[in-house]
Structure 1
Amino acid sequence: MVEVPVAFAVSDWTAYATIGSTVIAVLAFVISIWTGWIQRQHNKLSVMPLPEIQLKDMNGYICVKLINNGTGPLIIKKLEVLHGKNVVGRALIDLMPPGGSEWSFFVYIVDDRSIAPNGEIILLELEYDPNDSVEQDFATLTRQALCTLCIDLSYKGIYGDTFPVYKKDLTWFCRLLKTFT
């Protein structure tokens, strides 16, 4: 019977333990990289902007708002106003009828601005007295101007992901006009 030296048997176990712990460490490293990648993907999906252009036309009130209904900031790259397929402006106020000293609120060019989740930018707002015929006529002219337009919004999220262009047709404002040409 051949006796195996104790030192030789211990060094074998030490080698096996070293190899095993190295394999476990490499496996843990790979899993942590994979988990980080999955977490980053989750974060991107969790903070997505979701634009909406909201139209309001009530008795005495006309409004066009850009709202972020998403869970992350919306960064406006470019907002264009179109008539048909032609870009006719960058701000709604430029395309409104003259004599609108009654404008309650409006913004000019909104490029490179951001909107927080559940935040909004009022693009155009008109409050008027529906019993005043002059103000009522101006509201009708405003509806006529708005109903021929369309808004294209190019935007991105905080991770720089570019989304498809959001389009909103403003023909909804035609519904109260007696004649539309």
Structure 2
Amino acid sequence: MDQSEKRSIHWEKWTAVGTVVMAVCALITSLWQGYTLQQHNKLSLRPYLEFEANFQRMPDKRISFELLVNNNGIGPAEVTQMKIWLGGEQISSTHRIWPTLKVAAPTDCLGAGNVARFYKVDDQQMVIRADEKCLLTDAEYQKLQQQLRIELTYQSLYGDSYQVSWGEPAARG
């Protein structure tokens, strides 16, 4: 065979092709790491709102009651929507719960809080309260338990939406 007929290997081309393949692999790896880091950060900052209901029966058979919203997650939460039903009727705010329920106790000592707000980590907000000064009768307490439903829609810092509710769905109309 003649020297001119032999094929020569062009190492420059193979070096260039290898460099491009390695660069593409590095780009894909970087994009994947960025995606997984973002998913990890979303989970690391996920809020978790939940309701906490506390009641105590007093010796006169009347009941103190408190309903709270707690952020037990590891990130802040912003409530974007709140819906409240009492006896199948949708009401506009927590301050309307006691008058709609027609509680015998003076309504000026019954508490209601602003629930649709921003919650930092370990934050807590009162929804409604009937404390030692404004006790509920057993019938009022049962009516509250059976008819009140609250639904909150909230978002994380990343804009992911979540929902939490308190009360039975059957109470909603």
Asked whether the two chains share a fold, i.e. TM above 0.5, the reply is yes
8 Å Cα contact 2:86/2:97 also seen in 1: no
Counterpart in the other structure of 1:17: 15
* Structure 1 residue 59 displacement after superposition: 5.0
Structure 1 range deviating more: 45-54 or 32-41: 45-54
Q: Distance in 1 between matches of 2:44 and 2:128?
A: 30
Give the drift of 1:142.
5.9
Tell me which residue corresponds to 2:150: 151
Unaligned runs of 5+ residues in structure 2 are 59-63, 169-173
1:55 CA drift (Å): 0.6
Which of 36, 43, 46 in structure 2 is aligned with 1:45? 43
**Scaled by the length of structure 1, what TM-score is found?**
0.69
Identical counterparts, % of pairs: 24
Greater Cα shift, 82-91 or 36-45? 82-91
* 1:117 equivalent in alignment to 2:121: yes
Scaled by the length of structure 2, the TM-score of the pair is: 0.72
Structure 2 distance, partners of 1:102, 1:84, is 23
Matched, 1:73 2:76: yes
| Structure 1 CA distance for aligned equivalents of residues 128 and 86 of structure 2 | 17
Q: Considering only aligned residues, what root-mean-square deviation do their CA atoms show, in Å?
A: 2.8
* Relative contact order higher in (CA < 8 Å, ≥ 6 apart): 2
Question: How many equivalent pairs are there?
Answer: 153
Unaligned runs of 5+ in 1: 130-134, 171-181
Instruction: Answer yes or no: is the 8 Å Cα contact 2:47–2:75 preserved in 1.
Output: yes
Q: 2:107 corresponds to which residue? A: 100
Asked if the contact 2:68–2:126 (Cα under 8 Å) also holds between the matched residues in 1, the reply is: yes
Residue 71 of structure 1: SS of its match in structure 2?
A: coil
Aligned with 2:92 (options 81, 89, 93): 89
> Quick check: 1:75–1:115 contact (8 Å CA) kept in 2?
yes
